[in-house]
Structure 1
Amino acid sequence: MSDDDGLLLNFAVPDSSNNSTAPATKSLKIKGGRWKDRRKLQLSLQGRTKEKKVRGVNSVEITKPRLQKRKSDGDTESKIKESAPSEFKRAKFSETKGQSGGKNNSYVSSLFTNNETALQATTEAKPEEKEVTYLPSNAPIKGATTFTGLGINEKLSTHLTDHQRFKYPTKIQKLVIPNLLTTQRDLFVKAQTGSGKTMAFILPIFHKLMMENKRKITRDSGVFAIILTPTRELANQIYSVLESLTRCYHTLVPGIVIGGEKKKSEKARLRKGVNILVATPGRLADHLENTKSLDISQLRYLVLDEGDKLVELGFEETISKITRIIDSCSKIAETVDEWQGLPTRRINMLCSATLQNNVKQLGSIILQDPEMISVDREVEGTILFDDDDDNNVDGEVTGNSHDHESFAPDQLIQDVLIVPPKLRLVTLDACLVNIANKIEQNNAPSRSMVFYSCSDSVNYHYDVFTRDGKKLKKVKDNETGEVKTVLVSPEDSADENDADDSELTAPIIHSNTMVYKLHGSLSQQTRTTILQQFIKDDARFPHKVLFCTDVASRGLDLPNIANVIEYDAPFTIDDHLHRIGRSARVGNKGEAALFLLPGLEEGYIDAKLKVVHPREANLHIVNYEKILQEAFAEKNTTSKNKHDKLGNWDIHATTWHLEIERWLLEDSAALSKASLAFTSHIRAYATHLSSERNFFNVKLLHLGHLAKSFGLRETPKNLGKKSGKNSDKHLDGIDGQSKKMKKEDPRKKMLRMAKLAVKSSNEFNY
């Protein structure tokens, strides 16, 4: 053996003269060298060598005919890439091999493999079929009826038609306004969201206070009306409507008290005097108990807006306390002659888009012998509400049996996307890209809303779509002194006075898109600022998107909301109606999309959606692959749009998702946010009502596939942990079995925590 021999193999070759009948493989022995080389040689001597299998994307085996075709295609593709602009050539990313390692030590995504197939067939209209459209069900009624004809004074009516966007009353306004002007009975008003309920009770109250002749009402006269709302955003909106009405009658003063604001400044405003007070229940109860200057002795109207949400948030006890304090302070009987134009008793009014048992229970707390006013889909009518018979609705019904059901507006188009869990994120991007492209083509600015189940998910997805974005900031020119609004990176715009970077451009979607986020964990000042910026027109960004929780689903009248995307399924069907109700308001057109998972969740369509969307032509089951193709298909290479690339749509969709995964690998803070968002999403998913668990069963989720939709390559280990500081202590106090839980399987631990989370479900959707 020479000195430079690097390998010594000792072969024990079987003797050919041996007449043994034993197989040669048993007597074959190979010694020395590496195990891999020995094994390879052993298999070779046994004639068991295998042809090397060529595998492509997602570990799919490529046969010889396909391989030859791929090589020829590769030559063509390489020529295209050489001639393509440099902006389409991707920089290589160095990373460790994944489970399905690819060429050049790269990770191969399994985005389009092992996905469950949808059971429901698509119901999209074919190109040759004529699209069926319906007349708006919540539009103002044009014709002989005007606000003056309903009994509103001419000065207020003129202000509505000349300076506001209210030209004609809606159906619910036609019924409620004359009733509230003439009756002294309590009212229960039920109408679909976006039908004009707010103006239905504001206008007659404002008219009554304006027309008080014997003694003119000023801010010193006291509070005559209180309007309670479940959310601060809705309270702010109603207050802004009242402020706009005071421009035609300056002596009436509206006020607002909500959580999140300084009580000291609110007390100062109440001390000066207000006539109509908008409030959230908790803050109002606080002021009634602690603010002596708040005079409610002459209160004539108590309105509860969005009554179903007030009950859902658990405000029954607070509202009972408020009504007891109001009753104890009332001096209406002593001043009947002093205010002759006002009701001689307090009128209570409950507004709701639904009529469920919990809403009836709230009605029994504050309403006495109420009259129910409802607008049916075909027939408008009045129903008597009788709480003497176990809170059941009784009396003469002038509509049909659907008076007690809730429906989506007739003109709203509802799409249902049955998307495998791994493809959820890239499909959401495709939806937003297609909307942005359509806006660019039609040159028609509009806004979109995307609903998530929890604030952690909102924060994470906001970061995903704005990670290369810039922020608008006002900059003063030192030479000219002119103030200009420019785009700067969030780092450059960092300022101690900046509350939050909650508005950023979204180049990952389109250059014409600005994205905002809104949820209950933000400060009230930030929430108010975000809504103001979102509704503000900006020619540079005709497409504005709001990522939000259900805090933005109730009562908000935001202009030009053309698209609503429910990325996370609603917790109840009523939440669905309120979410999509941000679009298609007061007769306008609107579109909505709901993401569902294949399998069990598809039953939600027949059981729930078809009930609240009875117009068959308005409910479509859409093929998500068509949406992906439209967003990621081959397009003109001269375009500046990031989504216009060479190649097949599925390759580009996979590449887009890989960019998210790689971003998380590079940014530990973003990875932590993604893990937290995934964990919170699973816990929120477990809070669906028991009546809907047969559609949304957390035990049947494929956690690994769902983690993929958050850009995660594996399921987080801390599924059972609660977000926030001292979370372990919190869980220890609730369960008392933390040591045992730490040893549990992550899925079991998550399920245990999900059961605890049901008790505080508002933590997620608000």
Structure 2
Amino acid sequence: MADDGMLMNFELGSGPLKPQVKFTGGSWRDRKRAQKSAKLGSRPAVERSGLDDDQRSAKRLKVDGHGPGRRTDGDSEHRTDFPRKKTADHGHAPGQNKGPGKGSRQVVSRLFSFNPEQKTTFDDEPEWKEPEPTNAPLLTVANFGSLTISSRLVEALAKMNLERPTAIQQKVIPHMLSSSSDAFVQAETGSGKTFAYLLPILHRVLLLSGRGDQQIHRDSGIFAIIVAPTRELAKQTHTVLEQLIRPFPWLVSTAITGGESKKAEKARLRKGISFLVATPGRLADHIDNTKALNLGTVRWLILDEGDRLMDLGFEEDLRKAINALKQIELSKTLSSGVSLEPLPDRRVTVLCSATMKMNVQKLGEMSLADATFLAAEKGAETVAENKDEQAVHKAPAQLHQSHIIVPAKLRLVTLMAYLKSVFSRRGHTMKAIIFMSCADTVDFHYELLKVPENGEVPPPTSKDAENISKTVAKAAYITSLASPEVVLHRMHGSLSQPVRTATLRSFSACKSPSLLITTDVSSRGLDIPSVDLVIEYDPAFSFADHIHRIGRTARAGRSGDAVIFLLPGTEEGYIELLKASGSPSPLSYESVLQKGLMTKLEFPVETTAKPEDGQSYHDKAETLQLHLEQRLLIDSKRLELARNGFKSHIRAYATHTREERVHFDITQLHLGHVAKAYGLRDPPGGIGAGLDRKAQKGGKDAGKRTAKGVKGAKKGDDDDDSDSDKQDQAKPARAMLMRKSRMLTTGASEFNIG
């Protein structure tokens, strides 16, 4: 054999050869760990002992998903090394085959360790004292009769326990009685804008009925059209109108909204009506397709909640209705010969809005002509003179606002503790509303907090009972000796209209302490009696929505409370915005837990986690959290609801307005911690392209799961529209989030509130 010039030199050493061991079975993580242990075991003992305690601690901290230096002495007291095996406490729900070795991934983390610290320090503030209400009826005015409206209307108001007008009513009613000019009405929530425009309209229509035998009838024509952004607000306005015209049987009103029978609505229009309350989409539909809709006698067009009308994308429907009214010639007399002289000599448009944002100004330019600006605290001025003034919309002064900065892992137990403490004071809180970001989140919390059904549910005895059978139930966890029965209600835009109407009616009429879990579908205009507390569990997507949410309480001079939950970190900056609407006071989550969990805990479902006598509130909170996690593991239905709620919540978090997204930075979310707020031990995937990859990668290390992989959630937020459009074309996942973020509220697919 020829010499090729290559010299091979192998040095085997003096030690015996060790065979290469191939590890099989289990998960790849277990095989990797075994290989590492075998390799470490082959090293000299002196070299192995060279790893000091600090290095081991740092290594363990990295595996746990927390960087070096995060562990403190206090953390060691709250940390428990759980056995890495599949047990009843740490296993999966029945029917979930996780594969060999996957059970070791289930590690229960403690609630009070590794949480981000609160950055804001609050000075000790004096105890809040309720000031004079700003939306109460005026004491300086004797009664509604002083505004020169019909005495029969004054009597109807007295039956509704309304004697004196509010400040905005004192401004608007005289103007609409004497003038035929358009008006822009701005006032804080709960100040009585509905009565402000209804009373002068009714008064002037009643003047037609006081001329001898020339009385008007239901077929005389439509005198006023009132447009409301949501079905609930349209129904409520119609209810108020019905109460006012009850003494006048020749006047008829109706409401046409989406979700109802269009055939029945056409039949009512053919029979004849005097006043029409409508949502924009259904009004535009009837203008196109219903020949019986005669607009020649219409003298007033009321656009209620103008900012919300534009936010929800009704611009084209409104333009169609406004143009249709402009093109139809105004009738001077009725077919019966009755003169319409007491009515305005032109069509009057009244735009009601809480703010003067750009989209509202656009609606005003489209609908108003030489309008008068009417506000409770200002004199009458033209809108043109006030376009440059951005009015700051404030909450009623008698509304006590608070904020709770609570870590993500503790949100769920803190909410339960707060509700338990709220309903532990007999007669103090009768009705409370919790606002959440999306329908899936509402469904999960409703199912979690309600008493589970035992066996077969009795069939409903009426149509109304059938509608609320899935939306009204008795509450568990939050009851107390003072309130042994709390009634839960849920409502969101994905429910059918009859169900939403029946649920709202049930909540309004409920005599027991009751709680409504809802989305922004309930945030605008609804006047629910005796609402004492509003909880913003998920902050609103825009500050204007926040104002309207908390405006469900402290109405017409009554006192009320509002609480908002915020996360430590960037969300703390939102407190500065809150100060524009009042003086919010801080509330410690530790004090909430201590106060709410001081009484005995009662669980509706038995798990291995049970409260014990003599436990501290820290231990009770962890017991409650462990119980909720165990309950989900044995309940596949609620487990799926929790996963859907978590995913929808993360998606919705990316849709805050551009101006406020600096406070709600999705890249700062710790998905593992947020999952604990849904009773989950692992954040599920499928949120979006970036988050999905992050979740898969995070399976290697659950503690490191953050939202930093979200495409387009934060990066490029300050770019101009052209730049963002180019990025949208390149990144479909980001394009979806950016399209949503450009809206002031989330899309109709989440809430369906049009």
Query: Where on the TM-score scale, by shorter chain, does this alignment land: which range?
Result: 0.7 to 0.9
Aligned counterpart, 1:428: 415
TM-score (norm 2): 0.78
Label 1:260 to 1:51 Cα distance change in 2 as closer, same or farther (>3 A): same
Q: What is the deviation of 1:132?
A: 3.0
Aligned counterpart, 2:132: 135
Find the residue that maps to 2:648 and give its secondary structure.
Answer: helix
1:208 to 201, 204, 209: 204
Give the conservation status (yes or no) of the 8 Å contact 1:173–1:196. Answer: yes
Residues 380-399 of structure 1 aligned to structure 2 (within 5 Å): 380-386=378-384, 393=387
Aligned counterpart, 2:368: 367
Give the conservation status (yes or no) of the 8 Å contact 1:355–1:405. Answer: no
Residues 646-725 of structure 1 aligned to structure 2 (within 5 Å): 646-720=614-688
Asked whether 1:195 is paired with 2:179, we answer: no
1:516 to 477, 484, 489: 489
Aligned counterpart, 1:82: none
Find the residue that maps to 2:619 and give its secondary structure.
Answer: helix
| One-letter amino acid of the structure 2 residue matched with residue 545 of structure 1 | L
| One-letter amino acid of the structure 2 residue matched with residue 168 of structure 1 | R
Asked whether 1:628 is paired with 2:593, we answer: yes
Between the aligned residues of both structures, percent identity stands at 38
Give the conservation status (yes or no) of the 8 Å contact 1:220–1:273. Answer: yes
Q: What is the deviation of 1:343?
A: 1.1
- Alignment partners' CA distance in 1, 2:105 and 2:658: 47
TM-score (norm 1): 0.76
Aligned counterpart, 2:243: 244
Find the residue that maps to 1:416 and give its secondary structure.
Answer: strand
Aligned counterpart, 2:218: 219
Give the conservation status (yes or no) of the 8 Å contact 1:562–1:584. Answer: yes
Label 1:490 to 1:243 Cα distance change in 2 as closer, same or farther (>3 A): farther
Aligned counterpart, 2:516: 546
Q: What is the deviation of 1:519?
A: 0.7
Aligned counterpart, 2:228: 229
Count of equivalent residues: 647
Q: Deviations over 1:11-68 (max 9, x none)?
A: xxxxxxxxxxxxxxx989999999989989999999969999999xx999999xx99x
Aligned counterpart, 2:320: 321
- Alignment partners' CA distance in 1, 2:319 and 2:170: 31
- Alignment partners' CA distance in 2, 1:286 and 1:47: 79
Find the residue that maps to 2:121 and give its secondary structure.
Answer: coil
Label 1:750 to 1:112 Cα distance change in 2 as closer, same or farther (>3 A): farther
Larger % of strand: which?
A: 1
Find the residue that maps to 1:149 and give its secondary structure.
Answer: helix
Q: What is the deviation of 1:112?
A: 1.3
Residues 357-756 of structure 1 aligned to structure 2 (within 5 Å): 357-376=358-377, 380-386=378-384, 393=387, 404-438=391-425, 442-444=426-428, 446-466=430-450, 468-469=451-452, 491-493=457-459, 498-499=466-467, 501-510=470-479, 511-538=484-511, 542-606=512-576, 608-613=577-582, 618-633=583-598, 635=599, 646-720=614-688, 747-748=710-711, 753-756=736-739
Label 1:130 to 1:115 Cα distance change in 2 as closer, same or farther (>3 A): closer
- Alignment partners' CA distance in 2, 1:347 and 1:429: 50
Aligned residues: CA RMSD: 4.0
Q: What is the deviation of 1:575?
A: 0.3
Give the conservation status (yes or no) of the 8 Å contact 1:348–1:367. Answer: yes
Q: What is the deviation of 1:232?
A: 0.2
Q: What is the deviation of 1:490?
A: 6.9
- Alignment partners' CA distance in 2, 1:339 and 1:272: 21
Asked whether 1:119 is paired with 2:113, we answer: no
Q: What is the deviation of 1:512?
A: 2.1
Find the residue that maps to 1:381 and give its secondary structure.
Answer: coil
Aligned counterpart, 1:738: none
Q: What is the deviation of 1:331?
A: 2.8
Q: What is the deviation of 1:677?
A: 1.3
Find the residue that maps to 2:424 and give its secondary structure.
Answer: helix
Find the residue that maps to 1:248 and give its secondary structure.
Answer: coil
Give the conservation status (yes or no) of the 8 Å contact 2:349–2:367. Answer: yes
| One-letter amino acid of the structure 2 residue matched with residue 623 of structure 1 | S
Find the residue that maps to 2:422 and give its secondary structure.
Answer: helix
Give the conservation status (yes or no) of the 8 Å contact 2:668–2:708. Answer: no
Q: Deviations over 1:510-545 (max 9, x none)?
A: 13211111111100000000001101133xxx3211
| One-letter amino acid of the structure 1 residue matched with residue 358 of structure 2 | N
Residues 299-318 of structure 1 aligned to structure 2 (within 5 Å): 299-318=298-317
Give the conservation status (yes or no) of the 8 Å contact 1:374–1:383. Answer: no
Find the residue that maps to 2:245 and give its secondary structure.
Answer: helix
Q: What is the deviation of 1:455?
A: 0.9
Q: What is the deviation of 1:638?
A: 12
Aligned counterpart, 2:701: none
Q: Deviations over 1:345-367 (max 9, x none)?
A: 11110001111121111011111
Label 1:342 to 1:717 Cα distance change in 2 as closer, same or farther (>3 A): same
Give the conservation status (yes or no) of the 8 Å contact 1:96–1:107. Answer: no
Q: Deviations over 1:592-628 (max 9, x none)?
A: 011111111111111x111122xxxx41121111101
Find the residue that maps to 2:478 and give its secondary structure.
Answer: coil
Asked whether 1:762 is paired with 2:747, we answer: yes
Asked whether 1:266 is paired with 2:231, we answer: no
Q: What is the deviation of 1:302?
A: 0.6
Give the conservation status (yes or no) of the 8 Å contact 1:413–1:591. Answer: yes
With 657-666 and 585-594 compared, the bigger mean Cα shift is at: 657-666
| One-letter amino acid of the structure 1 residue matched with residue 395 of structure 2 | A
Give the conservation status (yes or no) of the 8 Å contact 1:235–1:278. Answer: yes
- Alignment partners' CA distance in 1, 2:314 and 2:538: 26
- Alignment partners' CA distance in 1, 2:683 and 2:733: 12
2:146 to 149, 156, 164: 149
Q: What is the deviation of 1:699?
A: 2.2
- Alignment partners' CA distance in 2, 1:43 and 1:490: 68
Q: What is the deviation of 1:754?
A: 2.4
Q: What is the deviation of 1:657?
A: 1.3
Label 1:317 to 1:95 Cα distance change in 2 as closer, same or farther (>3 A): closer
With 666-675 and 216-225 compared, the bigger mean Cα shift is at: 666-675
| One-letter amino acid of the structure 1 residue matched with residue 170 of structure 2 | K
Give the conservation status (yes or no) of the 8 Å contact 1:43–1:49. Answer: no
Aligned counterpart, 2:342: 341
Label 1:435 to 1:586 Cα distance change in 2 as closer, same or farther (>3 A): same
Label 1:290 to 1:636 Cα distance change in 2 as closer, same or farther (>3 A): closer
Q: What is the deviation of 1:295?
A: 1.9
| One-letter amino acid of the structure 1 residue matched with residue 387 of structure 2 | V
Label 1:32 to 1:45 Cα distance change in 2 as closer, same or farther (>3 A): farther
Aligned counterpart, 1:477: none
- Alignment partners' CA distance in 1, 2:622 and 2:435: 24
Label 1:419 to 1:62 Cα distance change in 2 as closer, same or farther (>3 A): closer
With 582-591 and 111-120 compared, the bigger mean Cα shift is at: 111-120
Find the residue that maps to 2:373 and give its secondary structure.
Answer: strand
Aligned counterpart, 1:186: 182
Find the residue that maps to 1:630 and give its secondary structure.
Answer: helix
Label 1:363 to 1:229 Cα distance change in 2 as closer, same or farther (>3 A): same
Label 1:750 to 1:509 Cα distance change in 2 as closer, same or farther (>3 A): farther
Q: What is the deviation of 1:571?
A: 0.9
Q: What is the deviation of 1:507?
A: 1.4
| One-letter amino acid of the structure 1 residue matched with residue 632 of structure 2 | L
Label 1:96 to 1:566 Cα distance change in 2 as closer, same or farther (>3 A): closer
| One-letter amino acid of the structure 2 residue matched with residue 173 of structure 1 | Q
With 275-284 and 645-654 compared, the bigger mean Cα shift is at: 645-654
Give the conservation status (yes or no) of the 8 Å contact 1:348–1:366. Answer: yes
Structure 1: runs of 5+ lacking an equivalent: 1-25, 71-90, 395-400, 471-487, 723-743
Q: Deviations over 1:450-499 (max 9, x none)?
A: 11111111111111111x345xxxxxxxxxxxxxxxxx767445899734
- Alignment partners' CA distance in 1, 2:173 and 2:441: 42
Aligned counterpart, 1:18: none
With 622-631 and 636-645 compared, the bigger mean Cα shift is at: 636-645
Label 1:207 to 1:643 Cα distance change in 2 as closer, same or farther (>3 A): farther
Structure 2: runs of 5+ lacking an equivalent: 1-13, 22-33, 80-86, 691-706, 712-731
Q: Deviations over 1:637-693 (max 9, x none)?
A: 999999895301111111111122112222223222212211111111111111112
Q: What is the deviation of 1:245?
A: 1.2
Give the conservation status (yes or no) of the 8 Å contact 1:30–1:42. Answer: no
